Structure 1
Amino acid sequence: MSKNKKGNSRDMHKWLLKIFIWSITISSSVSLLSDLLLRRVNLLVAFILLICIIFIGIVFDIIGISVATAVETPFHAMAAKKIHGSSIAIKLIRNSDKVATFCNDVIGDICGIVSGTMGALITDKLLQQMLNKNIPSEALSAMVGGMIAAGTILGKAIGKTYGINNSRKIVTRVSKILYLVQKDR
């Protein structure tokens, strides 16, 4: 095996380990936080938190698809003009596989799992409030789960089309935000 292939293999293993650790850390933290919050809030706040988690998943899905479909060339012209964030945009595009994995798979999937857990907790709250109603818990659970799935799928479908059609604009915005975050460090 050549030296370059060994290096690439080692880099890939490091990347996979990082993704694995980030996945555990982020999903555990978000799950714990959402569980603790949902147990203490009323239904309206619980639904708002659920919508926020679904929205975060959709936004990261848009970012992932935008970076994966963006063309690097316009960002070189921006870098030549010393526009803030253009070099970050180039790095994002050159590492589009990693960015898409992080945004779509790590964050997107975590949001999907957490929203499902939140749906179960919301269903439990609804059942507690409707003790005297004759609504089967299975039907209520299926309705809440179906609405979460449908909202997520619809949002991601619309988001993917938007992300593909506006990839340059989205990558520019994301890179400028990352530039501002980096600048303050």
Structure 2
Amino acid sequence: MKSQIKRSMKFSFTIAVITFVLAAIFTIVSSSILSDVIWFVGLLIVLVIVSIGVLFDMLGIASTAASEQPFHAMAAEKVHGAKEAVIIIRNADKFASFCNDVIGDISGIVSGTATAIVVLQIADIFGQSEGSTAQITLSVVLTSIVAAITVGGKAIGKYAAINASTNIIFFAGKTVSLIERKLKIKILPKNEKQTNKIK
């Protein structure tokens, strides 16, 4: 029991550190980009950030809904992505935590910050000072639209994740396999004993 608690605490601390670093990077990068583009492009960037959050939320849910059985035959035939799909499913709790809690939540925070920057850009174009009625109204409208798109997108993503979990995780497995083979970047933890059992 104590070892499980220690592993849980270690994982939680690791996730917290990763979240801090990624949130800082995403916020700095998005703010830097948005400061140099017109409001329309900024709005497109906000939608891209929201889409990333929706995509990773779908991946996280799919990992908990998918079964590893369909991938065993493919893994035995050395199909790229099959072993990675099994590893994702066997580590669904950590994978879902990273996708939903880290990337998903960061996307929500960053999209909110990016929306605020876009609002200020639009208000500045129309000569509205910060805190004016028009600026506040615009902020409420755009924030509500972004929130509606985020929630609606995640609702659709959840439906897809539950009903097409095998295809989604296989796609994720193939993507991870491609990155690891071509770029030599280790993404998934590969325990030798666990990997050898995947047939």
Shorter-chain TM-score range: over 0.9
Question: What is the Cα deviation at residue 22 of structure 1?
Answer: 0.7
User: In the alignment, does 2:80 pair up with 1:84?
Assistant: yes
Q: Which AA in structure 2 matches 1:28?
A: A
2:65 is aligned to 69
Q: Which residue of 1 aligns with 2:170?
A: 172
Residue aligned with 2:118, SS: helix
Aligned twin of 1:53 = 49
Matches of 1:44 and 1:74, distance apart in 2: 44
Helix, strand or coil: the match of 1:40?
coil
Secondary structure of the structure 1 residue equivalent to 2:35: helix
What is the distance in 2 between the residues matched to 1:170 and 1:31?
Answer: 28
Identity %: 36
Amino acid at match of 1:157: A
Verify the 8 A CA contact 2:128 2:134 in the aligned structure 1. Answer: no
Q: Which moved more, 1:90-99 or 1:10-19?
A: 10-19
Residue pairs, 1:112-127, within 5 angstroms: 112-127=108-123
Q: Deviations over 1:31-70 (max 9, x none)?
A: 0111111111111210111111011011101111111100
TM-score (norm 2): 0.87
Q: 1:99: which partner in 2?
A: 95
Alignment correspondent of 1:147: 145
Secondary structure, aligned partner of 2:79 = coil
| Cα gap change, 1:7 to 1:148, in 2 (>3 Å) | same
Question: Structure 2 CA distance, aligned partners of 1:137 and 1:180?
Answer: 46
SS in 2 for 1:131: coil
Deviation at 1:130, TM superposition (A): 1.1
SS for the counterpart of 2:87 is helix
**What value does the CA root-mean-square deviation take over the aligned residues?**
1.5
**Structure 2 unaligned spans of 5+:** 185-199
Q: Unaligned stretches of 5+ in structure 1?
A: none
Aligned residue pairs, count: 181
What SS is found at the alignment partner of 2:110?
Answer: helix
Residue 159 of structure 2 is matched in structure 1 by: 161
CA distance in 1: counterparts of 2:53 and 2:127, whole angstroms: 33
